[in-house]
Structures are given as C-alpha cells and as structure tokens.
Chains A and B, each alone.
Chain A
Amino acid sequence: MPPLVGVAPGVVTLKINGVDCSARDDQTVLEVAREQNIHIPTLCHLEGLESVGGCRLCLVEIQGMRGLVAACVTKVTEGMEVQTSTPQIEAYRKMIVQMLFTERNHVCSVCVSNGHCELQDLAVEMGITHVEIPYLFPKCELDASHPRFVLDHNRCVLCQRCVRVCDEIEGAHVWDNQGRGIHCRVVTGLDEPWITSDTCTSCGKCVHVCPTGALFEKGRSAGEMAKKAPQLPYLQNIRKGAARG
C-alpha cells in the first residue's frame, strides 16, 4: 500500500490481522499489537528491558517478508500487513514450548513456581498436554551459595531477563552467558559461585523477572514463589531522570 499523503512524520499505518492500526514508527509490532489488544505470546520479552528476540514465541508473518519474524524486535513500517496467528505460527510456537520443556528438567509438581510460571502458562494456553519430542534430562546443578536466592539451572529457559535486568536497570552486570546452543548457561561473575560476586547488590530483580522457577528466594516450598515483576519502565524513567540531573 503506498504511503498516505498528509500523515505526520513518524506515524505509520498498518494492518494486524486485518485490523487497521496507526502507530509511531519507532514502535515494534508487538507493542502495537498489544495496544490493539491483539494477543501475541512472549517469554523473553519484558516491558522495560531491551528486547532480544531470543525465545521466538512472538513469531509473526509479515506480507512480503521471507520467513517469520519476531514481533518484539521488528519495527512497524508503513503499509505493513501482519498476521499474528496462522496454523504454521501456532505449530512453531507449540514446538518451541515443547523444546523448552525437553531441554531442561521442568518438574512443575514440585517446582517453587508451580502455578506462577510463565512457561507453564504458555503450555496451558497452547493446550500442550504432552511433549512429543524426547526429553534430554541434562544433569544440572543448583547454586544456593547466595544467602537469599537460589539459581536452579533445571528450570532455566535462557530468556536472558536476569542478564538484562542486572545490566540495564541495576547496572551491576552480575549475570551473563556461558557456552553456546544446548550447552549455554547463565552464569554469575566469571562462572563463579553467586556468593563470590563482588558486584551483586542482592537487589533480587533477577529473581523477580525470572519467568520460571530458575531463580527463587530461599525458603520457598512448592508453588510458593510468586514473582513480583518490578515496575521496570518506572525504574528506567527514574534512572533517565537521574542521569539528566
């Protein structure tokens, strides 16, 4: 569709699932879809953190573009036509969630986040009652060296929220990645026990942005770890305000 004449600079119009929308041109497809109450599932995305398009659950189809793209990192353009749900997209999303379950050891029934877990919610939302691909059953360790928090690699989905919140909001950059592909792990410091990290402020943001039971407060039993996702946009604004003086 050619650009409309007379539209103010920075504003675009597009269609999502056939619905006409207007948006700023610095917005992502995901942001615009949410403004329009069009649901796109996400896992690694969290408002207030830079998007990385890691989990690929927000895949959408855009007319004229090859393959599927991640809605959280794709900026809207004039005349764009987006489909958020097609049989192919739904099949891919289901496969992604199943692969997340098989890659680590997610035992919901005894998990601290049972009933409060975004991965579990996604499985319910997508009607995944069985996993069709073989489980890998990797042997994963726990790091319970921190006096208040525990890291359980068995439940980690590598969404990188902990890495990003610690870097972008807290400014401590305790967390990072080690290894590639299936061997990738989030690590504290240079893959040292959490307690030895000199930069960790024990603020707990990593714990509360974690979508699963991979990071939790010590002393929590099954189903007791309800996360209170911090108001990250608010925190970011405070930070920007402070920087401006």
Chain B
Amino acid sequence: MARTILIDNVTRIEGHGKITINLDDSGDVADARFHVTQFRGFEKFAQGRPFWEMPSLTARTCGICPVSHLVASAKACDELLAVRIPRVAADLRRVINLAQILQSHALSFFYLSSPDMVMGYDSDPARRHILGVAQDDPQLAADGVKLRSIGQKIIEILGGKRIHPAWVVPGGVNDPLSVDERDKILAMLPEGFEIMKRTLSWFKGAVGSFQEQIRTFGNFPSLFMSLVASGRLEARKGELALYEGWLRFTNENGEIVRDDVDPRRYDEVLGEAVEDSSYLKSPYYKPMGYPDGMYRVGPQARLNNIIGTGEPLSNVEFMEYREMYRDSLNSSFHNHHARLVEMLFCLEKIQHLLNSKHIMDKHCRALAEPNELEGVGVSEAPRGTLFHHYKIDENGIIQWVNMVIATGNNSLAMNRSVTQVAREYVKADRLQEGMLNRVEAVIRCYDPCLSCSTHAIGHMPLDITLLAPDGRVLDHLRRDA
C-alpha cells in the first residue's frame, strides 16, 4: 500500500520547508521531495524602485546573510553605474563579506548541525540543540557562540549594525575605515584562530565516526559550481574567491567541465526550472539540460573547485581536506568540514586585508549617474554563488530583476539527497524520530536559507504523518514547539 510521510516543518534550518516521503506498496521509499513553502516576491515588488535602493531592499531577503545580498546587489549597481570602484572600497566589501560568511558558517556548524554530531542522530530531540551541546561539550558550544559573535561584531563595526547594515552602496561603501575600527577588528581575530584550531582538531578526530553519513548524505555524482579567482588580481588563478572571480564547473571526479565563465553571462550557462512542488526555483547547467544539469554550490563545491585558498593556515587545512576525501568527493556531508576550512580562511583573509597599506584610504566611493541599463552582480554567499541581475530605464528605475539565490542552486541536489537518505533509513511502517532526523540532517548539510528567519534552538514543531492512500492516518509523530 502506497503511503506518504510528511515532515513539516523541517527544523534547524533557516526558513520554512517541509519534506514529503512517498512509500510504495512494500513500504520502501519510492520518492522524496523537499518543498519550500514560502513565497517572497522580491523580484516583482522591486520593480519601479530606484536602483540606488536595491542593496538595502534586497538585503531584506534575509536576516542571516543580508551582507551577501548587499554585496551582490551593490556589484550589480556598480555595473549600472559602469564604474570601477576604488580599491579600498572593494577590499572593505571583501572584509564585510568574509565576516558574513564567518558568522553564517558558525551558525550553521555550531548551532544547527553540531547537535546531531555531538549527541548523535538518534538522541533525544528535546535535548538535541545548542543548549544540549552546551551541557555535553561546553567548550564547543561556547566556541560557536564566540565565533559567530566575532563575525557579527565585525559587521557591526564596519556597517553600523549587525543585521541589515546600509554601509555597502552602489559605487563602494559610504564610510571609510578608521584606525580605531581596524584595530578593534584585528584584536578579535587571535581568539578566532584559537577556536578554529580547537574545532578543526575536534572535527577531524570525530569524522571517523561519521563514515555512514559520508556514504549516504548526498553522495551521488553531480556538477559543482563556484567562483574561483580569475588570476587577474592578486590571487592566483583557481584560488578561493568569495568576492569576485569567474565561474568554474567541475564534475564528480573533480575534473573541470567548464572554466572561465564571465559571471555576468551566467544566463548562458544556467537555466531556471520551476517545479509545482516548491516555491524554490531549480537552476540547472544549461548544456546538460533539466534535470540532468544538476549542480551543487556552497563550501564543498568551492573547495572541490579550487587549487588552494591563497592563505597559509587554511591552505594546509584545505590540502588535508582534499586528501581525506579523495575517494568521497561527492558526499554533501563534507560541507561541514568545508565550512570549518572556510571559516579559518575568512579569519586569515580579514587579517591580511586589514593589514594592507591602502585599507585606510578615505576615498571609498565612486559617484556616477547610471551609464548602463543592465547589470549583473555575483559573489559567493555562505551557501554558494549568488546572482543579482537588474535592468533599469534611463532614469535609474528598476524595470526587471532576477535573483538566483545561493540556496536555490542546490534545489535539485537537495531533492536528490533527501531521496537518497530516505531510501537508506526510512523503510519500516513504524516511524522513528531518529530516521527522520537523518532526512532533515542531510538538508542541514546544505544549510539552506529559506527566508530571513532562523529557528536556531530546535524549537520548531515537527509534525510527521504517515498516510494511507485513502487518507487514513497510519501513524503520527509530533514534537511540540
């Protein structure tokens, strides 16, 4: 008898989503889908607004990664102004973007995913959250809180506030860095390095016990897409690039499928499919068509695509990461480790940038009227490559918007992963919370950011119903808020 299991809501992710698992007559999983159940409409209601407003407007897409939207949007607006922004402006934007990635990765790893890793996937859901981690491993929990606060404080120092700062503007940033601000940020970094050292050491020691997750969590062939350094600026070609670069696609064997794609021409390589089951669009690699052109983005994709990070400490960690997972390149579980490597990179790169000679330059904004009617801004957000694409009229009023959000890129892969994990763990006709937690946990590997809300302490209600084809309730599991 065919049945459907519904996980609504998926917990410990950012935003609202649900999962349906369809069972066939023999009780095995036939299919599973991840649905994003909210509709936002930014692309529509931005129409008619002046483009100068777009960075702040689109930053409201998200409360976790507003800075990523600020950066991608401001870059699209730079294109509309057709200016090359001052070097210090680009570097200050880099710093705030790195701080954003640092705090978001800390949220994902420590708050949302570490409860599964520390307490086990079958542990009591009432304790399986960051406060439970604080009881079982106080140091790890404290490190997570501290690391996230370092990222948030850097954003606050630069942008004036931690969430939705309006500092990044078309043409650059609206306020230069002061000596005092620089020194405050630099003083916070040593503790961050200590935390990363401890956490990497803990994770590398523990990863041996996650072989089952590595084998089953999103372990299937796909493409991986990210920006990599173009080699035109200070970084070597192919190194980790989070602010600007060219698009690279690699395959399941780590071989480059396509390289040096100007991100402004993303629509030549990426198509966007719409599925009935979700408000999330499903982008795909055009030359391979839909849905075969499935690709993944995010920390793992970035590390799969690069030749090195370009910073000494994180590069050593990157080499070790690459060596450790040479035979399991495709497992989405590696996103957790990749996040740790990237957090270390963020700290190093922030230190590097703030110690450069020109970082205190006062001229940090290029002023111009709109000179182009179309602009694309691309950057790497914590969850992957983020595209903002605007068209304006001659007065600077937005006529058309397309945003390809980092999480959206992973839409097809998340569905595939959910199906894979469900097939592996959900077989019996009696539901067990732990097996469904694994289905949620694979989604957490991608750290999807479905809206501007976060439900970080595992207090979202979880309601799973097992239905017979005639609608009879066969089984029901509920975790109250």
Contacts of A109 in B (CB 8 A): 56, 60, 164
Binary A-proximity of B52-77 (CB < 8 A = 1, otherwise 0): 11011100100000000000000000
Cα separation A105 to B233 with both chains bound (whole Å)? 44
Contacts of A142 in B (CB 8 A): 48-50, 397
| Interface status of A103 (Cβ within 8 A of chain B) | no
Chain B contacts with A in 1-59, Cβ cutoff 8 A = 48-50, 52-53, 55-57
Chain B contacts with A in 119-171, Cβ cutoff 8 A = 164, 166, 169-170
Cα separation A145 to B52 with both chains bound (whole Å)? 15
| 8 Å CB contact of A110 from B56, B169, B170, B369 | B56
Contacts of B53 in A (CB 8 A): 110, 112, 221-222
Contact indicator A221/B52 (Cβ below 8 Å): yes
Contact indicator A221/B56 (Cβ below 8 Å): yes
**Smallest CB–CB gap between B311 and chain A, Å?**
32
Chain A contacts with B in 188-245, Cβ cutoff 8 A = 218-224
Closest B residue to A141 by CB, please name it.
B48
| 8 Å CB contact of B52 from A114, A141, A220 | A220
Contacts of B49 in A (CB 8 A): 142
Cα separation A112 to B166 with both chains bound (whole Å)? 10
Contacts of A12 in B (CB 8 A): none
Closest B residue to A112 by CB, please name it.
B53
| 8 Å CB contact of B397 from A114, A144, A147, A222 | A144
Cα separation A218 to B395 with both chains bound (whole Å)? 9
Contacts of A152 in B (CB 8 A): 50
Contacts of A220 in B (CB 8 A): 52
| 8 Å CB contact of A221 from B60, B169, B395 | B169
Cα separation A150 to B166 with both chains bound (whole Å)? 20
A-B contact pairs, 21 of them (CB 8 A): A109-B56, A110-B56, A110-B57, A112-B52, A112-B53, A141-B48, A142-B50, A144-B50, A145-B395, A150-B50, A218-B50, A218-B369, A219-B367, A219-B369, A220-B52, A221-B55, A221-B56, A223-B56, A223-B166, A224-B169, A224-B174
Contacts of B164 in A (CB 8 A): 109
Contact indicator B166/A222 (Cβ below 8 Å): yes
Cα separation A112 to B164 with both chains bound (whole Å)? 14
| Interface status of B310 (Cβ within 8 A of chain A) | no
Given contacts A219-B52, A219-B367, 8 further A-B contacts (CB under 8 A): A110-B56, A114-B166, A141-B48, A144-B397, A147-B369, A219-B369, A221-B170, A222-B166
Contacts of A224 in B (CB 8 A): 166, 169, 174
Closest B residue to A217 by CB, please name it.
B52
Contacts of B396 in A (CB 8 A): 144, 218
Contact indicator A144/B174 (Cβ below 8 Å): no
**Smallest CB–CB gap between A67 and chain B, Å?**
41
Q: Chain A interface (Cβ within 8 Å of chain B)? A: 109-110, 112, 114, 141-142, 144-145, 147, 150, 152, 218-224
Contact indicator A221/B397 (Cβ below 8 Å): no
Contacts of A221 in B (CB 8 A): 52-53, 55-56, 166, 169-170, 174
Contact indicator B56/A222 (Cβ below 8 Å): yes
The 4 A-B pairs of least Cβ separation, nearest first, read A222-B56, A144-B395, A221-B169, A222-B166
Q: Chain B interface (Cβ within 8 Å of chain A)? A: 48-50, 52-53, 55-57, 60, 164, 166, 169-170, 174, 367, 369, 395-397
Contacts of A145 in B (CB 8 A): 395
Closest B residue to A213 by CB, please name it.
B53
Cα separation A41 to B290 with both chains bound (whole Å)? 61
Contact indicator B166/A218 (Cβ below 8 Å): no
**Smallest CB–CB gap between A197 and chain B, Å?**
15
Contacts of B397 in A (CB 8 A): 142, 144
Contacts of A114 in B (CB 8 A): 166
Contacts of A219 in B (CB 8 A): 52, 170, 367, 369
Known A218-B396, A222-B166, A224-B169: A110·B60 in contact at CB below 8 Å: yes
Closest B residue to A195 by CB, please name it.
B395
Closest A residue to B169 by CB, please name it.
A221
Cα separation A114 to B59 with both chains bound (whole Å)? 15
Closest A residue to B81 by CB, please name it.
A219
Contacts of B60 in A (CB 8 A): 109-110
Cα separation A144 to B164 with both chains bound (whole Å)? 26
Contacts of A223 in B (CB 8 A): 56, 166
Contacts of A144 in B (CB 8 A): 50, 395-397
Contacts of A110 in B (CB 8 A): 53, 56-57, 60
Point out which of A112, A219, A221 has the most chain B C-beta atoms below 10 A from its C-beta: A221
Point out which of A141, A144, A224 has the most chain B C-beta atoms below 10 A from its C-beta: A144
Contacts of A112 in B (CB 8 A): 52-53
Cα separation A145 to B367 with both chains bound (whole Å)? 19
**Smallest CB–CB gap between B120 and chain A, Å?**
42
Cα separation A109 to B57 with both chains bound (whole Å)? 8
Point out which of B164, B166, B170 has the most chain A C-beta atoms below 10 A from its C-beta: B166
**Smallest CB–CB gap between B92 and chain A, Å?**
15
**Smallest CB–CB gap between B47 and chain A, Å?**
11
Point out which of A150, A220, A222 has the most chain B C-beta atoms below 10 A from its C-beta: A222
**Smallest CB–CB gap between B368 and chain A, Å?**
8
Cα separation A80 to B397 with both chains bound (whole Å)? 53
Closest A residue to B392 by CB, please name it.
A144
Contacts of B369 in A (CB 8 A): 147, 218-219
Cα separation A147 to B395 with both chains bound (whole Å)? 8
